[in-house]
Structure 1
């Protein structure tokens, strides 16, 4: 009888923890979709075509809120000396600012649906950069997966009805900088054993991103904003909502990484990508051709097979670690769902 009660308690705890995890997943998918759709609206439809200024707004808001949370004692601060900050945080922040700027700039030229299709190349670039930087070992099978993904994305690009080379270059640059950033996180933060919680991560990285973004903003967007012939306005409410949602998204990402497996994250990412493609078609009337969907389907299959191989590689040494979850691994190489 006591065993039955214990089993019931264990099952109840299992379902509670599962519900919490999938609640985090749902929140992440929802916030990610909201941030992307808001950014697209602000840049393309709200008369505010300034992606650097939008990103600056996000970084300023995240910096300020993280500062207040830490100084108010609501979040435990993590001390970091100046040399460590310069060697680890500054390079990562430089790449992160490039990722956000170039990714937001792509919304001026491309549909949300097509951008999500292009993001399928993230495993290709992470694998390539990882081999170059020594965080990934070359494998013929992995390389074959990358070729399949590249062919699929190329087909989707060929079928894109509103193809714009400038937008593709912006998005491609965003993917490349994000790939280098992910590899640097593994080389610098993880190798040095630096552990940051979600708020302290933004506390250190967001101000540095803001500083880096001030340079291109001063020379690229500020002159346009000061030009009396340029027609634009400040969508204050939308900017504030976008910044707050971006902060919440960052929080949800770190919370989810702490609770979920790589497999769960990838399945959630696939759901998010298809959801965004659907929302783009419904809300912004983005045209999607059959050839484009077929190409994305091929890329999608390549990404799924790549993720499966990675997870199989993680499971291999599992018998010698009976207390660990075989799916638990660094999400570095599976993070192809960047907002």
Structure 2
């Protein structure tokens, strides 16, 4: 749990610095670094050192199932990570974390529209209140950027799509921490780097930003290691705690990052933003209570 609470915010801050302070605004490539390191790390754990060999369930997955299900989930996961990183180019860390509090609202809507799960009256009211809190926070943002806001909307839509697809397509599969990475990280990396070859690499070559990778190799290495650690920690927490606890830990982590951004990084958090975020947090707690 301690690892989960620390490495996520650390990765966010490192990626934010890479894209802004270090002048490397390529969210797909940066997201892909963490997935490549996760794919390589899980391969060594599962196949080379055999510290966690594949279970019978994992070995029984056919290529047809992988192509029709896991590739689709991987695409949504890749989109969520790429859009999420891109948001930090235009918005403050604190405002991005505040917007993330709106994700459960999108998830509930998608679950309802896809016929997976209909929310109860109390859950629907909690979601409506969280939506109102997000609107209040957005209007209170001192450095609002429409492009960044729309990118974060895309990130939350992608994350909700991933969660719904996972629940519909992979609901009967239970993997160990490194098994899940071994199966999902390669396809996520393939999506990210495949798109980056067309959308980011031409600009990277034309601008000469390739040199920044070698100039700041230590920072990119830290980002890669943190990306691997975040994925491992997420799988471990999900495996060893309840899904509700994961949501609560994630919310507490985001709230801590908002506070850190305001106090340590000097980012401005207005009173209206704080009020809206407080509403989101309060009704997120109610949402989880009514979901029990």
TM-score scaled by structure 2? 0.92
Shift in Å, 1:215: 3.5
For residue 50 of structure 1, what is the aligned residue in structure 2? Answer: 26
- The answer to whether 1:215 aligns with 2:208 is no
- The answer to whether 1:288 aligns with 2:269 is yes
Q: How does 1:73-92 map to 2 (within 5 A)?
A: 73-77=50-54, 78-79=58-59, 80-92=61-73
Give, in whole Å, the separation in 1 of the partners of 2:8 and 2:209. 31
Q: Which runs of 5+ in 2 are unaligned?
A: none
TM-score scaled by structure 1? 0.80
C-alpha contact (below 8 Å) 1:95/1:177 kept by paired residues: yes
Higher mean alpha-carbon deviation, 220-229 vs 114-123, is at: 220-229
- The answer to whether 1:175 aligns with 2:151 is no
Higher mean alpha-carbon deviation, 204-213 vs 138-147, is at: 138-147
Q: Which string of whole-angstrom CA distances, capped at 9 and with x for unpartnered residues, describes residues 218-271 of structure 1? A: 222112111147697112111111111121121112211222234433432232
For residue 68 of structure 1, what is the aligned residue in structure 2? Answer: 44
Distance 1:137 1:59, change over 3 A: same
Aligned residues: 285
State the secondary structure of the residue aligned to 2:144: coil
State the secondary structure of the residue aligned to 2:90: coil
Match of 1:205 among 145, 161, 184: 184
C-alpha contact (below 8 Å) 1:122/1:175 kept by paired residues: yes
Whichever of the two has the greater Rg, that structure is: 1
Give, in whole Å, the separation in 2 of the partners of 1:186 and 1:228. 42
For residue 320 of structure 1, what is the aligned residue in structure 2? Answer: none
Larger relative contact order (CA 8 Å, sep ≥ 6): 2
Q: Which runs of 5+ in 1 are unaligned?
A: 1-24, 312-339
Match of 1:143 among 110, 116, 124: 124
Match of 1:163 among 144, 148, 172: 144
Give, in whole Å, the separation in 2 of the partners of 1:214 and 1:269. 27
